[in-house]
């Protein structure tokens, strides 16, 4: 067993990702970064498919230290298990449905080493068109939403997101880690707000990853995803209590439609794909789902005075 302390902990939180996990883990193994300086901490949500066996086979005989944990209490709890057990100076999050470029970890580590005040940094979504148009549009919309300077004050209400991000372990532990009570969305946004309030900076850097999560995305899946996002955001806003985070007039579906037009123009210049002009319709649809979920959460938490 190597006595060298890992520089990087790769956190992989999975549940029933058998269709995509092989590509994700292979992209970790193929990194242009010393394997003896890496460890992989897997947290499995009691997968019912072949996810874990695929992970174990892919990491076998790679020289990468691997540990596996189990949980069934939600994403906040799963990510905190990684934080609690990380030995690396940095934690890089690789989801079970994404692929990172060969130099990804090296670029993120070099950036964090050069920027002592960086608490969190993240690479950029690759703009590749796939056979699933809706899935590609969703990936494009996420990429467009990250085209801001995250170290500026104007980005205060923007979230980098955990997938593909690197966390300085010292920073995440300083702010108390992830909220274990967050079972679904907003666990990353919650942490980012606290990291920024503690004086750390957030950055988006030039390193690419490919998100396969939306490879088979359907309209029903998109509705469920954003309904749940809206539902979970209600809890998050009541916890953080910061009116600057959500401007509701910007979240209304008609406003989202206009934002989709703006993003489509930007993305067309980058990709020359006419399909991006479907983004306004997609934005309208998913923000309608968000508001239905947000309203339902508000009603569920309402307790009439007796």
> Can you give the pLDDT at residue 243?
62
CA–CA distance, 89 with 98 (Å, rounded to integer)? 23
CB-count burial class (<10 Å; 0-12, 13-18, 19+) for 103: middle
* Domain extent listing, the chain: 1-215, 218-300
Angle between helices 133-145 and 279-301 (to 10 degrees): 80
Supply 13's token pair: 């939180």
Q: Are 137 and 276 in contact (CB under 8 A)?
A: yes
CA–CA distance, 25 with 8 (Å, rounded to integer)? 15
Three-state secondary-structure class, residue 176: coil
Q: Are 297 and 246 in contact (CB under 8 A)?
A: no
CA–CA distance, 254 with 147 (Å, rounded to integer)? 22
Strands 98-100 and 65-70: unpaired
Q: How far is CA 88 from CA 54, 185, 296, in A?
A: 24, 25, 41
Instruction: Determine how many CB atoms are found less than 10 A away from the CB of residue 180.
Output: 17
> Can you give the pLDDT at residue 302?
47
DSSP β-bridge partners for residue 70: 44
Contacts of residue 57, Cβ cutoff 8 Å, sequence gap at least 6: none
Q: Are 120 and 155 in contact (CB under 8 A)?
A: no
**Fold of the domain built from segment(s) 1-215:** Spore Coat Polysaccharide Biosynthesis Protein SpsA; Chain A (3.90.550)
User: Can you give the pLDDT of all 306 residues of the chain as single tens digits?
Assistant: 456 778 999 999 999 999 889 999 999 999 999 999 999 999 999 999 999 999 999 999 999 999 999 999 999 999 999 999 999 999 999 999 889 999 999 999 999 999 999 999 999 877 776 677 888 888 888 888 777 777 666 666 678 889 999 999 999 999 999 999 888 888 999 999 999 999 999 998 888 787 755 557 889 999 999 999 999 988 888 887 776 777 776 778 999 999 999 999 999 998 888 989 999 999 999 999 999 999 998 888 644 333
Contacts of residue 221, Cβ cutoff 8 Å, sequence gap at least 6: none
Sheet holding 8-14, edge to edge: 65-70, 38-44, 8-14, 90-93, 165-168, 118-125, 201-211, 98-100
CA–CA distance, 288 with 219 (Å, rounded to integer)? 13
């Amino acid at each position: 067993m190597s006595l060298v302390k890992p520089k990087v902990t790769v956190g992989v939180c999975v549940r029933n990702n058998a269709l995509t996990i092989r590509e994700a883990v292979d992209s970790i193994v193929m990194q242009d970064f010393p394997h003896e300086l890496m460890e992989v901490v897997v947290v499995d949500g009691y997968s019912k498919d072949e996810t874990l066996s695929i992970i174990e086979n892919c990491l076998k005989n790679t020289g990468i230290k691997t540990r596996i944990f189990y949980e069934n209490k939600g994403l906040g709890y799963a990510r905190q298990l990684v934080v609690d057990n990380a030995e690396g100076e940095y934690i890089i999050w690789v989801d079970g449905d994404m692929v990172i470029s060969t130099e990804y970890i090296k670029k993120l580590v070099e950036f964090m080493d050069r920027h002592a005040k960086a608490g969190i940094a993240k690479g950029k979504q690759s703009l590749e068109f796939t056979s699933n148009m809706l899935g590609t549009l969703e990936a494009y919309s996420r990429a467009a939403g990250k085209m801001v300077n995250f170290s500026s004050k104007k980005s205060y209400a923007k979230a980098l997101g955990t997938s593909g991000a690197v966390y300085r372990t010292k920073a995440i532990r300083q702010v108390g880690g992830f909220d274990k009570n967050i079972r679904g969305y907003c666990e990353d946004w919650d942490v980012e707000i606290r990291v920024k309030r503690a004086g750390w900076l957030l950055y988006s850097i030039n390193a690419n990853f490919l998100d396969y999560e939306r490879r088979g995305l359907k309209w029903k899946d998109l509705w469920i995803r954003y309904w749940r996002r809206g539902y979970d955001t209600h809890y998050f806003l009541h916890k953080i209590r910061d009116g600057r985070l959500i401007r509701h007039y910007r979240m209304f579906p008609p406003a989202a439609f206009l934002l989709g037009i703006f993003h489509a123009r930007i993305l067309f210049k980058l990709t020359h794909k006419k399909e991006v002009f479907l983004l306004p319709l997609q934005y309208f649809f998913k923000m309608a789902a968000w508001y239905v979920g947000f309203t339902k959460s508000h009603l569920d938490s309402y307790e009439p005075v007796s």
